[in-house]
Amino acid sequence: MAAKRASQPRKSVWLTPRPARGRRAAESGSGAGNLDREKIVATAVRLLDAEGDAQFSMRLLAAELNVTPMSVYWYVANKDDLMELALDAVAGEIDLPDLTAGRPWQSDLRALAAAWRRTMVAHPWAIRSYGEYLNIGPQSMRFSACAQTVVARSPLPEQERPAALSAVFQYVYGFTSMESRWLEYGRESGRTADEFLEEVAGSVAEAPGIEAGGGMMERHSGVSIGELRDRDFDRALDWLLAGMCAGLTA
């Protein structure tokens, strides 16, 4: 996607909200065959999950909905808008931690990071879209608001908090991008992710330096790649949080 050149560049759905049409049919509670934006977005998410974003198209979506391709355009202005809507929909699936449970802010932040990662890995196309769009839909904002509440409870001085949030979530974004790409490679190649990793590592072993795939291909001694990944994920968060707190006492 990524907005072909146009005289007027595209603006996010959230910045120029299109009327969510098709409400009449939805509200009148008529037959299941009717379209509305919600149904379109839900179907898009399902197809994106099943087919991947490379395979997904407006035409495929329309076929799945048993309508002509152009019918969809009554409800969404274009494919980019639809992708933003789909992305916000999956952002709504992220489990937010219960902030009233009285856990330490670090635990809540970790829970948030883990929940984000889980959701993105469940929808591999979503992490790519996340890098493409503005992510300011209601569900994304719900997540951001929660994250901000969490750091607001930390002892970090107020002017440090945005940087702390960026650091954590930019890391999580980077980690998750790599992770879901490796999982996709595994799926595409028909082998397991572990086997694919072995193969690449093998083809590359003669070179002086490795680290391909963000250094995920070393030290498997009994423990599975998945566990190693989880461990690395937690470890980096340990380091970041330790670094932030170390700054406080200095």
Partner DNA sequence: ACCTGAACACCGTTCAAGT
Q: Where in 192-221 is the site for a copy of itself (CB under 8 A)?
A: 199-200, 203-204, 207-216, 218-219
Does 92 help bind a copy of itself (rule: CB under 8 A)? no
DSSP letter at 18 equals P
Does 71 help bind DNA (rule: CB under 7 A)? yes
**Which of DNA, a copy of itself, none does 97 bind, CB closer than 5 to 8 A by kind?**
none
Q: From the CB of 66, what's the least distance to a copy of itself, in Å?
A: 23
Does 201 help bind DNA (rule: CB under 7 A)? no
Q: Label residue 29 left, alpha or beta by phi (over 0 means left) and psi (-120 to 50 means alpha).
A: left
The encoded tokens of residue 231 equal 């461990």
The one-letter code for the residue type at 179 is: E
- Confirm if 22 and 32 have CB atoms less than 8 A apart: no
Does 24 help bind DNA (rule: CB under 7 A)? yes
- Confirm if 88 and 137 have CB atoms less than 8 A apart: yes
- By the 10 Å C-beta count (0-12 exposed, 13-18 middle, 19+ buried), 75 is classed as buried
**Which of a copy of itself, DNA, none does 79 bind, CB closer than 5 to 8 A by kind?**
DNA
- Contacts (CB under 8 A) with a copy of itself, residues 137-166: 138, 140-149, 159, 162-166
Does 74 help bind DNA (rule: CB under 7 A)? yes
Q: Which is nearer to DNA, 35 or 244 (CB)?
A: 35
Other CB atoms within 10 A of residue 221 CB:
5
Q: Which of 87, 109, 90, 113 is nearest to 99 (CA)?
A: 109
Other CB atoms within 10 A of residue 231 CB:
11
Q: Which is nearer to a copy of itself, 18 or 24 (CB)?
A: 18
Of 23-31, 95-103, 135-143, 148-156, which part binds DNA (CB under 7 A)? 23-31
Q: Which is nearer to a copy of itself, 36 or 93 (CB)?
A: 93
Does 173 help bind DNA (rule: CB under 7 A)? no
Chain centroid offset of residue 197 CA: 23
Q: Which is nearer to DNA, 34 or 148 (CB)?
A: 34
- Contacts (CB under 7 A) with DNA, residues 76-95: 78-80
Q: Which of 141, 216, 146 is nearest to 180 (CA)?
A: 216
Please report how many Cα atoms fall inside a 13 Å half-sphere around the Cα of residue 189, on the Cβ side. 16
Dist CA 195 CA 172 (whole Å): 25
Does 190 help bind a copy of itself (rule: CB under 8 A)? yes
Q: From the CB of 35, what's the least distance to a copy of itself, in Å?
A: 27
- Confirm if 124 and 188 have CB atoms less than 8 A apart: no
Q: Which is nearer to DNA, 8 or 249 (CB)?
A: 8
Residues that bind DNA (CB under 7 A): 21-25, 34-35, 56-60, 67-71, 73-75, 78-80
